[in-house]
Amino acid sequence: MIKINENYFKLQASYLFSDIAKRVSAFQNANPEKEIIKLGIGDVTKALPEACIKAFHEAIDEMAQDSTFKGYGPEQGYSFLREKIAVEDYQSRNADIDPDEIFISDGAKCDTANIQEIFSPDIKIALPDPVYPVYLDTNVMAGRTGKYSGGKYSNICYLKSTKKNGFVPDLPEEPVDLIYLCFPNNPTGATISKDILQQWVDYARETRALILFDAAYEAFISDNTIPHSIYEIKGAKEVAIEFRSFSKTAGFTGTRCAFTLVPKECRGFDSSSNTHSLHSIWDRRQSTKFNGVSYPVQKAAAAIYSDEGKKQVRTLIDYYMKNAAIIKKGITALGFNCIGGENSPYIWIDARGDSWDFFDLLLDKAGVVCTPGSGFGSCGSGYIRISAFNSLENVQKAMKSINQALKSQ
């Protein structure tokens, strides 16, 4: 008899995006003449940088000749890309990272989802609330949670991110083993200071825990005091794994390239408290289950580190951050409190009431689609997320409509 993994039954169907789609289509049917501007989803809208396209084309041409053709590549990624990342993203920030510690992948979603399988089923998880749902659902699938009731799973330590703590969670009040942190944060757009991140690293060292640090949005940081990587923090290499992605940095959401950094010093413990290198365990996992990212995609990703690539990526990020500034300024001028939008493409707005009511208000009165914060966890109730990923023209139009709609409230 083929038995199924019954943990899947514990998963809560995510109605968030289907509910949004239903409400948008009902509005569209009722108001066919009205334009709708979508500032809800976190997908980029602008084309790949020219340097990436050029490298992509060249790599495809190499694949077209027997003499330059590439078959299976290294599961961990080509060294031309790993070396660039180590130098440009880490060593340049005084983070002593070796190319061997970098594992190229086809997405931070898969990596943040897959990493949990190298840990024991009985560890205790701590994750932020609100949260990028992948961290939670993959642990539900793995059986690390109890039942779902009253908006929460049992056996999970929820790290509240609220106005009171500036959307940066406090250290857990109960013992935990694996901690998910994401900064700049999705959905809140909050960032973490070096001092607070140091407290988390010290905590992980003292309690023999591990931090999974999702830095998918680090490229949006412009404030020099904010850490881009957890390895800028003293002692982090033993206690942290970091995830990065080219998705938002360089428009790779449809092209797929990311990486995970597992330092050689990073340690885990067996049931007899012996120390083991998580680097070798992740290496074993990837070599067994993953066959690498395509050569042209890795070539395209490496191109962002060329002089032209760097300039083009900067232009891309500045473009979205100009949108973010317009949104933030407009929302603040209307008297709403918000966070994010400065070192992050997301703006997290206090809806002063129910998330869905505010969603409906923006849709009905302004024709603008946002994301209700309640979809990211119970601490997201009463908030909405607006994303800066759209054209400048659409953002300007959206803010004009929001201004008219909310002023008349």
* Contact positions with ligand PLP (CB under 6 A) in 325-384: none
Q: Does 301 bind ligand PLP (CB under 6 A)?
A: no
H or E segment at 12? Answer: none
For residues 201 and 236, the answer to whether their CB atoms sit within 8 Å is yes
Q: Does 207 bind ligand PLP (CB under 6 A)?
A: no
Q: Does 89 bind ligand PLP (CB under 6 A)?
A: no
* Contact positions with ligand PLP (CB under 6 A) in 36-65: 42
Q: Choose, by CB under 6 A, the member of 101, 129, 137, 214 that binds ligand PLP.
A: 214
Q: Does 216 bind ligand PLP (CB under 6 A)?
A: yes
Nearest residue (CB) to ligand PLP, 249 versus 374: 249
* Contact positions with ligand PLP (CB under 6 A) in 19-38: none
Nearest residue (CB) to ligand PLP, 107 versus 296: 107
Q: How far apart are CA 366 and CA 355, in angstroms?
A: 16
For residues 201 and 192, the answer to whether their CB atoms sit within 8 Å is no
Q: How far apart are CA 289 and CA 204, in angstroms?
A: 29
Q: Does 388 bind ligand PLP (CB under 6 A)?
A: no
Long-range CB pairs of 160-168 (<8 Å, 24+ gap) are 160/129, 160/379, 161/128, 161/129, 161/130, 161/185, 161/188, 161/190, 161/379, 162/379, 163/337, 163/350, 166/190, 166/339, 167/339, 167/348, 168/192, 168/196
Q: Choose, by CB under 6 A, the member of 245, 260, 298, 374 that binds ligand PLP.
A: 245
Burial of 61 from C-beta contacts in 10 A (0-12 / 13-18 / 19+): exposed
For residues 104 and 291, the answer to whether their CB atoms sit within 8 Å is no
Nearest residue (CB) to ligand PLP, 379 versus 405: 379
Q: Choose, by CB under 6 A, the member of 127, 258, 304, 368 that binds ligand PLP.
A: 258
Q: How far apart are CA 105 and CA 256, in angstroms?
A: 8
Q: Choose, by CB under 6 A, the member of 7, 28, 253, 287 that binds ligand PLP.
A: 253
* Contact positions with ligand PLP (CB under 6 A) in 165-194: 182, 186
Q: Does 196 bind ligand PLP (CB under 6 A)?
A: no
Residues lying near ligand PLP in the complex (CB under 6 A) are found at 42, 107-109, 112, 132, 182, 186, 214, 216, 245, 247, 253, 258
